[in-house]
Amino acid sequence: MPLNPDFNGAVQEGIGLTQTTTSKGWRNSTAQAYLKPARSRPNLRVETNARGKRVLFEGKRAVGYEYIQNGQAKQARAAREVIISGGAYGSPQLLELSGVGDAEHIKSLGIEPVHHLPGVGNGLQDHQVFRMKWRLKGKPGTYNERIRGLTALGEGLKYIIARKGVLSSPTNPINAFFRTRPELETPDVQIQFFPGTYDNMRDRKLHHHPGVTLGPTLLRLESRGSVHARSSDPFADPAIHTNVLGTENDLKTAVDAMRYCRKVMEMPAMQGFYDHEMAPGKNVQSQSEWEAYAREVGSSNWHPASSCRMGPDGDAKAVLDTSLRVRGLQGLRVVDASAMPMVVCGNTNAPTIMIAEKAADLMLADARA
């Protein structure tokens, strides 16, 4: 596996330090980078503690937005367009609550259909990660050790004074991209290297002993799931079906990726650093044992996408056109990761920001036309 200093360059394959949207030790969220500098603009108003209820239509044109704030129904009217940016879970739910989606499903919610668009909520994809853990020897300086005792105090001071150390580091400071099959043109798996270990994702309580976690992550999934409103109540969570390992090829790729990670850790250059494999453990050897482990630990990498996907004219499954407009309607766009035709082969934060940048350009161009 070659060293790669720039995963976003001409070649993605290789191993290297993670590239992040951070500045001076802080995560540069969209609120920090975009909203905060614009807060004083007279044409911007932010309503908080508000839940979207539905888009308002006059015929097939979106003309506004109804929302619930502090128990009261309120409306905002649109001079030009309504933009939905609810994410891969929230956007299809809001469209269905507004009467846009599969007409039969919308009727089952007790909502009058506005526009039949069967692709809404279908096609959901999310990177799946299968975490493997090793206990290390000695005191190599993993996160497990650095967040305890005097070492933790030192890390806190290091961050306060210089914005460096563990508190300024990404969760996975090293990443690698590789192909499970040589005939593939580009990588289909990302390995996330976390310099620590924990028992479960809910509390992520780090172990007292040093350890490392390798998370092989499927990038080019075949399987697709769905997300749909299950009630006309906007406060009710949608029904999310991730369809993890929904095809034989996805399952095979997951096993091949985990076998590769074990192979990496058992190379002579690595053997001196670790004590033993904690999970899945060397007792897992056969294909069926690997498959069972994949089904047991496979989980979301928090990159949901493609539930309102773009597509060309004639694509019956497409929800949006290539300008992010909802097909068959006027004055309505969806701008978030749900627009991706398929989930990108890497982390989704920066690509989603790019989608929003492009959408802003498209809207400005239309306004000037």
> DSSP letters along 16-79, please?
EEPP-SEETTEE--HIIIIIHHHTT-TT-----SEEEEEEEEETTEEEEEEEEETTEEEEEE-S
**Are residue 245 and residue 140 in the same domain, yes or no?**
yes
207 catalytic, yes or no?
A: no
**Are residue 272 and residue 337 in the same domain, yes or no?**
no
Residue with tokens 């908080």: 48
| Alpha carbon distance 120, 90 (integer Å) | 11
Confidence grade of residue 194 (pLDDT, cut at 50, 70, 90): very high
**Are residue 79 and residue 59 in the same domain, yes or no?**
yes
User: What pLDDT does 200 receive?
Assistant: 85
Active-site hit among 115, 127, 228, 303: 303
| Alpha carbon distance 134, 193 (integer Å) | 11
**Are residue 223 and residue 109 in the same domain, yes or no?**
no
Centre a 10 Å sphere on the Cβ of residue 24 and count the other Cβ atoms it contains: 9
In a domain, 322, yes or no: yes
**Are residue 70 and residue 201 in the same domain, yes or no?**
no
Domain that holds residue 187: 127-300
Query: Measuring CA to CA, which residue among 221, 217, 210, 202 is closest to residue 172?
Result: 217
Mean of pLDDT over the chain: 95
**Are residue 288 and residue 188 in the same domain, yes or no?**
yes
Give the largest Cα separation in the chain, rounded.
69
Q: With 0-12 CB in 10 A as exposed, 13-18 as middle and 19+ as buried, what is 75?
A: exposed
Residue 106's CATH number: 3.50.50.60
- Cα dihedral sign for 313, 125, 223, 114? negative
Report helix angle 248-265 to 287-297, nearest 10: 100
**Are residue 168 and residue 233 in the same domain, yes or no?**
yes
If residue 150 lies in a helix (H) or strand (E), which one and from where to where? helix 149-162
In a domain, 91, yes or no: yes
Quick check: helix, strand or coil at residue 364?
helix
Residue 230's CATH number: 3.30.560.10
The strand pair at 14-17 and 174-178 is best described as: antiparallel
User: What pLDDT does 50 receive?
Assistant: 96
| Alpha carbon distance 159, 76 (integer Å) | 43
In a domain, 11, yes or no: no
User: What pLDDT does 369 receive?
Assistant: 83
User: What pLDDT does 289 receive?
Assistant: 98
**Are residue 140 and residue 256 in the same domain, yes or no?**
yes
Identify the domain boundary among 285, 300, 315: 300
Q: How many CA atoms lie within 13 A of 20 on its CB side?
A: 18
Give yes or no for a contact between 227 and 338, defined as CB atoms under 8 angstroms apart.
no
pLDDT at 203 over 90: no
Q: Distance of alpha carbon 189 from its chain centroid, rounded?
A: 15
Total count of domains within the chain: 2
User: What pLDDT does 201 receive?
Assistant: 79
pLDDT digits 0-9 by tens, 148-173: 889 999 999 999 999 999 999 999 99
Identify the domain boundary among 252, 282, 300: 300
In a domain, 33, yes or no: no
**Are residue 121 and residue 131 in the same domain, yes or no?**
no
In a domain, 21, yes or no: no
pLDDT digits 0-9 by tens, 300-339: 999 999 999 999 999 999 999 999 999 999 999 999 999 9
In a domain, 265, yes or no: yes
Q: With 0-12 CB in 10 A as exposed, 13-18 as middle and 19+ as buried, what is 132?
A: buried
**Are residue 59 and residue 156 in the same domain, yes or no?**
no
Confidence grade of residue 202 (pLDDT, cut at 50, 70, 90): confident
pLDDT at 271 over 90: no
**Are residue 281 and residue 153 in the same domain, yes or no?**
yes
In a domain, 243, yes or no: yes
In a domain, 66, yes or no: yes
**Are residue 233 and residue 288 in the same domain, yes or no?**
yes
DSSP secondary-structure letter at 11? Answer: -
Identify the domain boundary among 279, 300, 321: 300
